[in-house]
Structure formats: structure tokens, C-alpha cells
Amino acid sequence: MPGSLAALLCLGLCLSQSVKAYKERLPKPSLWAVPGPVIPWGKPTIIRCQGTEDAHKYVLEKDGGMELRDMLEVAGPWKEAEFFISNTRAESGGQYRCQYSSKNVWSEFSDPLELTVTGLYPKPSFSVIPVSILDPGEDVTFHCESQMASDKFIFYKTTGANAPHMLSSSDHGADFPILSVTPSHGGTYQCYTFDDDYPYLWSIPSDIILLKVSDSQRRGSSDVDSDYDSVPQQLTFTSLRLVIVGVTLAILGILLNEAWHSRAAAYNPKEKPKQPERQSELWMDGPIEDSPKRP
């Protein structure tokens, strides 16, 4: 009986320690790649793991394999750790996770990061049907075609936060339709091919296609603005015509007035100026002498 009691006490103590350790587990870190999760062959990349302010040790794990793990230890509190890949190769592609520790307590693993290496297969051709400039509500189809038989085709939007679309194909090409497009579908697109046995090794990216979707609200407002703009133009042309007509009539009036005066002057010659009186001339020559007084 005493032995059974001691065993139960030991089991309870172990369970309490496990529960305490579970409660003390740190929150999971964030994991991302710079410049992004799709890296061309031979280019460098940085994998960043971000924990708490007092994290002292970070661990990066690839594909769950302990032999491929990389460890970064820091001497003091450090919120973020960087794992640098100077020359991306085929073996660099895969799924990564990271965790950190603080005061001998380990965090949960981060969400997985899928790192893809491109450039292992020939570049596929990429086209759009019918056109790359659309109105909202129209349909469009992207076509990706490879020179070699590929298991899967990747339809990838390089701008925005949309995840890549994947299609399986037993032929040399695949279609990616988008029904009833909206302005949010606008952006740049590419496609890749890859072998199903190596999902993290893609082909050389195709040429980029820019999809433009017009904004119906902006189009409506621009039409209204153009209507309003046409009104002042019409008024300007009308005013200009009225000014030209007014100036023409004024010139004709002046010419008619001058012609009338010329004709009137021909029938009524000017009068000769009157001769001044003699008395005035004498008065102007000098004073008139007083007449002699009669006796």
C-alpha cells in the first residue's frame, strides 16, 4: 500500500509538471522569407523568425528533419533571428518551421513556410484570351503551355496577397479561367510548371501578363465629367460666332455711314465764308477819330 501511494504521488507530480510546462509554453513565432517565398536559382534569400523580446535561442527546421536543422544562438535578448541562404539551390526548396526559447522554455513551432526554387525547367509560354483589358463582369482565360510534359501548372499572381492557383494536367498545357472579373483581379500574372515528385522545384517563370480591369464607377464619373466639359465648349463656340457676327455688322454699319456722308456732301457743297464788315476792319486798324464838333 505505501508503495502504491508513492507511485500515485510521483505520477501526480509528473503530470503537474507537464501541465505547468504546457501552460508556460511561449507563443509561436512568425516565419517569413525575404524577398519572398519564390526564389530564383542561385539567388540569395533570408529566412526570418520573430519571437518575443527576451528570446535567447532560435531553431530553424526544414522538412521535419533533424539532420537539416540550423540553429542560431544569441547571447542576449533578441526579438528576431535571420537565417541566410547565400546561394539558393534545389535542396533549399522545402517546408520550414522555427521556434525559440526563453529561460529554458520553448515556444510552439511557427506556421510552415514553403520555400520554392525556380529555374529548373524550361520557360513555359503564357497567353490570355480574349484580351488583357476588360470591363467588370467579363470573363478571361489564361493559358499556360510547356514544351515538355508537366504534371502540374502553377498560375501565380505576382502582385497582391492572392495564393497561387494550381492545376493538374496530363497534357502540355492548362487553362486558368476567371469568371466575372472585378477591379481586384487586375495585376500581373505568371505561370510555372513542375514535376509532382518535386513540388518545391519550379520552372523558369513565364513572361508577365498585365491584366487591367476598368473601374465602372470611375468610368461613369468620367463620362459625366466629359458631358459637363462639352457644355462650356459649346458655349464658347456659340459666343465666338456671335462676336464674329457682331464685329461684321459693326464694320458694315461704319462703311454704310461713311458712304452716306460722302454722297450727301456731293449734293450739298460747303458755303463760302462770309467777308468781314468794313467797320470791323477799320476798328481793327486803329481808333476812329472823333468828328469835329459843330459850333
Per residue in 141-182, pLDDT (tens digit) is 999 998 887 778 988 888 765 566 666 665 788 899 999 999
Q: Please tell me whether residue 15 adopts helix, strand or coil conformation.
A: helix
Domain regions of the chain by residue span: 24-118, 125-215
Q: Is 116 exposed, middle or buried (0-12, 13-18, 19+ CB in 10 A)?
A: buried
Query: Tell me, what's the pLDDT at 118?
Result: 96
Closest CA to 166 of 158, 181, 156: 156
Query: Tell me, what's the pLDDT at 166?
Result: 67
Asked whether 151 and 195 are in contact (CB, 8 A), the reply is: yes
Answer whether 24-118 and 125-215 agree in fold. yes
Query: Tell me, what's the pLDDT at 90?
Result: 93
Q: Which residues of 187-209 are buried (b: 16+ CB within 10 A; e: fewer)?
A: bebbbbbbbeeebbbbbebbeee
Mean pLDDT over the full length of the chain: 75
Cβ neighbours for 129, distance < 8 A, ≥ 6 positions apart: 140, 141, 142, 143
Domain 125-215 in this protein, CATH class: mainly beta
Least confident of 58-62, 104-108, 150-154, 166-170: 166-170
High-pLDDT (> 70) share of the chain, % = 63
Round to whole Å and give the CA distance between 145 and 228. Answer: 48
Correct CATH for 24-118 of 2.60.40.10, 3.40.50.300, 2.170.190.11, 3.40.50.2300:
2.60.40.10
Q: pTM for this one?
A: 0.61
Cβ neighbours for 201, distance < 8 A, ≥ 6 positions apart: 90, 93, 116, 117, 120, 194, 195
Q: Which grid coordinates are listed for 110?
A: 511557427
pLDDT beyond 80 at 47: yes
Q: Using alpha carbons only, what angle is made at residue 189 by residues 185 and 194, rounded to the nearest 5 degrees?
A: 130
Query: Tell me, what's the pLDDT at 168?
Result: 64
